[in-house]
Amino acid sequence: MSDRLLGGRKIHEQSTPLLGGIAIVVAFNSALLANMVLDMDTIVLLCGGIVVALVSLADDCIGVSARFKLAVQLIVVLILIYFGIVLHLFPKSIWGYWLNVLFTIFWIIGITNAMNFIDGMDGLAAGIGAIIAMFMGIVAFQTSQPFMGWFAIAMMGSCLGFLPFNFGLKKPASIFLGDAGSTFIGFILAALAIKGDWADNSRIVSFSAPVLIFWILIYDMAYITVERIVTGKVKSLKQWIDYVGTDHIHHRLYNLLCDKKKAVLFIYFLCATLGISAITLRYARPIDGVLLVIQAFLITVIVSIAEYSGSNR
* pLDDT score of 2: 34
Per residue, the 3-state secondary structure of 167-217, as one string, reads CCCCCCCCCCCHHHHHHHHHHHHHHHHHHCCCCCCCHHHHHHHHHHHCHHH
- Please name which of 295, 300, 294, 309 lies closest in space to residue 222, comparing C-alpha atoms: 300
Q: pLDDT by residue for the chain (313 residues), tens digit each?
A: 333 333 445 544 444 456 778 899 999 999 999 888 788 889 999 999 999 999 999 988 888 888 899 999 999 999 999 999 999 888 888 898 999 999 999 999 999 999 999 988 888 999 999 999 999 999 999 888 999 999 999 999 999 999 888 887 777 777 888 889 999 999 999 999 998 887 766 778 888 889 999 999 999 999 888 888 888 888 777 777 777 777 888 888 888 888 889 999 999 999 999 999 888 887 788 888 889 999 999 998 898 888 776 555 5
Strand partners, 2: 17
Q: CA–CA separation, 188 vs 44, rounded Å?
A: 11
Sequence length of the chain is 313
Indicate the SS3 state at residue 119.
Answer: coil
- How far is C-alpha 148 from the chain's CA centre? 17
What pTM, to 2 d.p., does this model score?
Answer: 0.89
CB 169 within 8 A of CB 39: no
Q: CA–CA separation, 243 vs 132, rounded Å?
A: 27
Indicate the SS3 state at residue 174.
Answer: coil
Indicate the SS3 state at residue 20.
Answer: coil
